[in-house]
Amino acid sequence: MLLKKIIIIVFVLTLGACSTFSIFFDKLPYLTVLRFDKMFDLSEAQEQLVQKKAEELQDWIRQEAAQVTIKRLAHAKQLWQEESFHQASQHFQDSLEASIKEFLVAASPGIVSFLLTLDEANATKYREYNVEKSKDWFEYASSQESKTKSRVKQLEKWFGKLNKEQIVRVAEIALLVADEQQIKISNNKHWINLAIKASLERNQSALKSWLNDPSIWWQEDYKALREINRQQTSALLAMMIETMTEKQQETVVKEIDGWIEELQDIATTTDSGRSS
C-alpha cells in the first residue's frame, strides 16, 4: 500500500475526473509535497527531494506518457466505434496494465531515493497515518451494499447512469469475498512493514526488487482476492457491453474524447507553464 499510495498521489490525485486533470496536473509537484508531508512529516530536505522528483515525473508524463496514452485511447475508441466492444475493453485493460508498468519504471528511481531518506520519525508518522486512513481506503469492502455502490460508481464514470437492471447485475457479479476488508487491511500493513524495514535498513536492492515486481510483497490471501476481483471486473465489463443502451455506448466515446483532449493539453504544455 505504501507504493500504491505513492502512485495514487501522482495519478488518482490528478486523474479523479478528466475535466479537472490538466488543472491538477500543473500543480502536481506542489500537491505531491503536501500529501507526502501529511503522510511522513517531511523535513525541508525531503520536501525539496519530493518536489524535484515530482517535477521529473511530471516532465516524463508530459513528454512521453501522455502521447503514448493518447494513442492507446484512440485505438480503443476506434475499436469501440467499430462495435468491437470486447476487443476495445480488453485493449483498454491491457493498456492500463502497460501504463502502470511504464510508470513504475519511470518513478522507481525517485521513489527509492525518497524511501532511503526515511527515519524513525517518518516511519512512526506513516504508521499512524495508515491506522487512521486504512478503514476509509477499504470502506468499499465493509459490506455487500458498499461494494455494489463502489462498482456502480466506477462503471458510471465511463457509461453514465446505470439502470435498475444493470445495478442488480452488478450486485450479482461483484460479490463481497469473505473477510475482504480485513484481507486488504492486513496486506496493507504487511506492505508497509516490509517497505519501512527496507527503507530504514537502507536496503536499496530490496526496494528496487519490490518496485520491479510489487507482487513479491503481497500476502497469499490478497493474491487470491485480487484475482477474484480481476475476474469480477472483466465480468462487469462484459455485462455492460451486453446490456448497454445507445446512450451509454455514446457516453464511453465522449469520456474517451474527454481524456484525449485533456492529455493533448498537458502534452503540449511547456515547462514555462509549470506552477511554482
Grid cell in block for residue 33? 509535497
Q: Is residue 33 part of a domain?
A: yes
96: its cell numbers: 492500463
Q: Which residues, 6+ apart, have CB-to-CB distance to 92 below 8 Å?
A: 72, 76
What per-residue confidence (pLDDT) applies to 273? Answer: 45
Q: Where are the alpha helices (DSSP H) in the chain?
A: 2-10, 12-15, 21-26, 28-40, 44-60, 66-81, 85-115, 120-137, 144-159, 164-173, 180-200, 204-212, 220-243, 246-267
Q: What is the pLDDT of residue 269?
A: 56
Of 181, 180, 173, nearest to 234 by C-alpha is 173
Does 100 map to a domain?
yes
Question: Which domain covers residue 255, as residue numbers?
Answer: 2-265
Cell of 142: 465493509
All cell numbers assigned to 260: 484525449
Distance, in Å, from the CA atom of 28 to the CA atom of 14, rounded to the nearest integer, reads 7
In a domain, 213, yes or no: yes
Residue 147 domain-assigned (yes or no): yes
Q: Answer yes or no: are the C-beta atoms of 158 and 255 closer than 8 Å.
A: yes
Predicted local distance difference test score (pLDDT) of residue 125: 96
> What pLDDT is stored for residue 126 in this prediction?
93
Q: 131-152: per-residue pLDDT in tens?
A: 888 888 899 999 999 999 999 9
pLDDT digits 0-9 by tens, 137-193 = 899 999 999 999 999 999 999 999 999 999 999 999 999 999 999 999 999 999 889
- pTM to 2 decimal places: 0.84
Q: Is residue 275 part of a domain?
A: no
Number of structural domains (the chain) is: 1
Q: Which residues of the chain fall short of a pLDDT of 70? A: 1-22, 268-276
- Domain membership of residue 99 (yes or no) is yes
The helix/strand/coil state of 178 is: coil
Residues 50, 258, 76, 268, CA torsion sign = negative
Rounded mean pLDDT of the chain? 88
Is 272 part of any domain?
A: no
Identify whether 274 is part of a domain: no
- Judging by beta carbons within 10 Å of its beta carbon (0-12, 13-18, 19+), is residue 44 exposed, middle or buried? exposed
CA distance 98 to 96: 5
End-to-end CA distance of the chain: 29
